[in-house]
Chain A
Amino acid sequence: MPDRRVVITGLGMISPIGHNKDDFWAQLMEGRSGIGTIDRFDTADFPAKIAAQVNNFQVQDYILRKNARRMDLFVQYGCAAARIAVEDAGLQIKPEDVERTGVWIGSGIGGIDTFEKQHAVMMQKGVGSLSPFFIPMMISNMAAGQVAIMLGVRGPNGCTVTACASGSNSIGEAFQLIRNNKADVMISGGTEASITPVGIGGFCALKALSTSNEEPLRSCRPFDLKRSGFVMGEGAGIVVLEEMEHACQRGAHIYAELIGYGATADAVHVVQPDMEGRGAALAFRMALTEAGIKPEEVDYINAHGTGTELNDQIETKAIKDVFGQHSYKMLVSSTKCYTGHMLGAAGAIELIATTLAMKNSTVPSTLNLENPDPLCDLDYIPGPPRHKEINIAMSDSLGFGGHNAALIIRKAR
């Protein structure tokens, strides 16, 4: 095992509940959901009319306007969150650091807004009217590409596309690149902007979205019997990962150490989870093994917890499989009832929530958990946030395609 240790030194986000760590955390602690009625387009024909939208996003606060106009919204979110994370880390990228600093930012879907609009242009005015920027705005890797251009960093660069696990897998890949001595610093996470007619319509067609349109704040109900599906979110979560010595030498603030990563496949079905939760359990075990810790050492799991029956029950089953009796002693919560399901950004924003829970010794609650599903019988923290010292925590993501990813962090010491 490589002895290079990896720490989290910067947190950045553009989210439905805030664009900096203080606002984000305050809203989690106050139990205020970011879910509301969609106002981006006319939802008259759509079964689902609710989402957790990013509000008050002024792109020019983060990126030059001339550059922003050639970026899809998911790239703008990614660049902005990267800027915030680098600033939070107090990271000055010097010429000698450029080749040892990389970017790995996933996206589940990529530039669907650009795709929809350009397709409409082509159907209306012909193929000659397609913008030369259609492809470079739309492709899913472009957040990683644009952040590297923005920061001028030439280290390892890429984008992992694993649907709802993209953010977790991307951070896991970045973690390995530092451990394996390919980079000293990685700016990593996920970004998504798919609250568009085709994006919402597509998930409606899958019958995956909650249609509790009359009660947006109560619509996302992970582990509750009255859940009705997930609620789409959007935004970006980016962390600065750094080799520990590198971080210590520059006197950086260390939030937590990233100690384990697991990534597996269900190999069963395109959208349904494995009914025994074997793929998820395998990912949890893989991460625990790499971390070199026992299941009983984990104090908190930030669950995928989408608020769909299959996810909640299977994820709970996988947790019980791996953690046994300890499952009932540890804390588990889902923060998707605050942020909506940010798809490719979900794993990243949830690792940030997990990191802040560790830092503040307080765990965000699961909202709207009023009638617990008997098959979901863990302590998901209904009611107010829970004060508890968190030494080790895990965040997991389970994506369409059967992708499972788990990340484990430990309190810095």
Chain B
Amino acid sequence: MSVFEELKKIIVEIKDIPEEDIQLESKFAEDLEADSLDIVEMLMLLEEQFDIQIPEEEAAKLKTVKQVVEYVEARINENA
């Protein structure tokens, strides 16, 4: 499953919103009403799913779906 698909699945689970509301451009706070704990949980689930580590200082910079997808893809490629 692609990182975007996985992330959408996680956001649907956490926020209980329709998948079609989640776009690459979606901002977590403004568009998805995700609070800081939602984002922490989301990133932890991605870490587990893709076997990567996301340092806190990096996590703090991730504000949109697209930023997370690109960040996680980069970490996966480093591991490969």
Partners in one complex: yes
Which residues of A are interface residues toward B (Cβ below 8 A)? Answer: 64-66, 69, 129, 131-133
CA distance A102 to B14 in the complex (A): 29
Q: Are A131 and B16 closer than 8 Å at their CB atoms?
A: no
Contact A66–B40 (Cβ < 8 Å):
no
B41 touches A133 (CB 8 A): yes
Q: Is the CB of B16 within 8 A of A64?
A: yes
Q: Chain B: residues with CB nearer than 8 A to chain A?
A: 13-16, 37, 40-41, 44, 48
Residues of chain B with a CB closer than 8 A to A66's CB: 14-16
**Contacts A66-B15, A69-B13, A132-B40 known; 14 new A-B pairs at CB < 8 A:** A64-B16, A65-B16, A66-B14, A66-B16, A69-B14, A129-B44, A129-B48, A131-B41, A131-B44, A132-B37, A132-B41, A132-B44, A133-B37, A133-B41
Main secondary structure of the interface of A (DSSP, over half): loop
Residue in A64, A65, A66, A133 with the greatest tally of chain B CB atoms within 10 Å = A66
Contacts of A129 in B (CB 8 A): 44, 48
Q: How far is the CA of A109 from the CA of B13 in the complex (A)?
A: 29
Rank and list the top 3 A-B pairs by shortest CB-CB distance, nearest first.
A66-B16, A132-B40, A132-B37
Chain B proximity of A207: nearest CB distance (Å): 40
**Residues of chain B contacted by A132 (CB below 8 angstroms):** 37, 40-41, 44
Look across to chain B and name the residue whose beta carbon is closest to the beta carbon of A67: B16
In Å, the complex CA distance between A66 and B17 comes to: 9
Residues of B within 8 A of A69 (CB): 13-14
| A129, B44: Cα distance in complex, Å | 8
A65 to B41, CA, bound (A): 16
* Dominant secondary structure of chain B at its interface with chain A: helix
Query: What are 17 A-B contacts defined by CB distance under 8 Å?
Result: A64-B16, A65-B16, A66-B14, A66-B15, A66-B16, A69-B13, A69-B14, A129-B44, A129-B48, A131-B41, A131-B44, A132-B37, A132-B40, A132-B41, A132-B44, A133-B37, A133-B41
Assembled-state Cα–Cα distance A129/B43 (Å): 11
List residues of chain A with CB within 8 A of the CB of B44.
Answer: 129, 131-132
- How far is it, in angstroms, between the C-alpha of A221 and the C-alpha of B40 when the chains are bound? 49
* CB-CB nearest in chain A for B40: A132
A36 and B16 alpha carbons, distance in the complex (Å): 35
Residues of B within 8 A of A133 (CB): 37, 41
State how many angstroms separate the Cβ of B57 from the closest Cβ of chain A: 14
Could you say which residues of chain B place their CB within 8 Å of the CB of A131? 41, 44
- A66 to B34: give the CA distance in the assembly, Å: 12
- Alpha-carbon separation in the docked complex, A129 to B47 (Å): 10
The answer for the CA separation of A131 and B14 in the assembled complex, in Å, is 13
Q: Which of chain A's residues have a CB closer than 8 A to the CB of B41?
A: 131-133
Bound-state Cα–Cα, A65 to B13, Å: 9
Expressed in whole angstroms, the Cα–Cα distance for A116 and B13 within the complex equals: 23
A367-B14 Cα distance, complex, nearest whole Å: 45
With both beta carbons as reference points, the residue of chain B lying nearest to A136 in the complex is identified as B37
Q: What's the nearest-Cβ distance from chain B to residue A79, in Å? A: 16
B63 to chain A, nearest CB (A): 18
Whole-angstrom CA separation of A129 from B40 in the bound complex? 11
The residue in chain A whose Cβ has the minimal distance to the Cβ of B17 is A66
- B15: chain A residues within 8 A (beta carbon): 66
Give the shortest distance, in Å, between A292 (CB) and chain B (any CB). 50
A133 to B15, alpha carbons, bound, how many Å?
Answer: 15
Closest to A68 in B: B16
Residues of A within 8 A of B14 (CB): 66, 69
Closest chain B residue to A66, Cβ basis: B16
User: Within the complex, what minimum Cβ distance (angstroms) separates B37 from chain A?
Assistant: 5
Q: In the assembled complex, how far is the CB of residue A340 from the closest CB belonging to chain B, in whole angstroms?
A: 33
Collect the chain A residues with CB atoms within 8 Å of residue B13's CB.
69
- Tell me the complex Cα distance, A133–B37, Å: 8
Complex Cα distance A69/B37, Å? Answer: 13
Bound: A38/B8 CA distance, A: 37
> Smallest distance from the beta carbon of A67 to chain B beta carbons, Å?
9
Q: Give A346 to B48 CA distance when docked, in angstroms.
A: 40
Chain B min CB distance to A135 (Å): 11
Complex CA distance for A131 and B45, rounded to whole angstroms? 10
CA distance in complex: A234, B69 (Å): 43
Shortest beta-carbon distance, B18 to chain A, in Å? 13
CA distance A133 to B40 in the complex (A): 10
Q: Complex: how many Å from CA A69 to CA B14?
A: 8
A65 to B14 CA separation, bound complex (whole angstroms): 9
C-alpha spacing A64/B33, complex, angstroms: 15
* Shortest Cβ distance from residue B14 to the other chain A in the assembled complex, whole angstroms: 7
Give Cα A64 to B14, complex, Å: 11
**Which chain A residues lie closer than 8 Å to B40 at the CB level?**
132
A340 to B44, CA, bound (A): 39
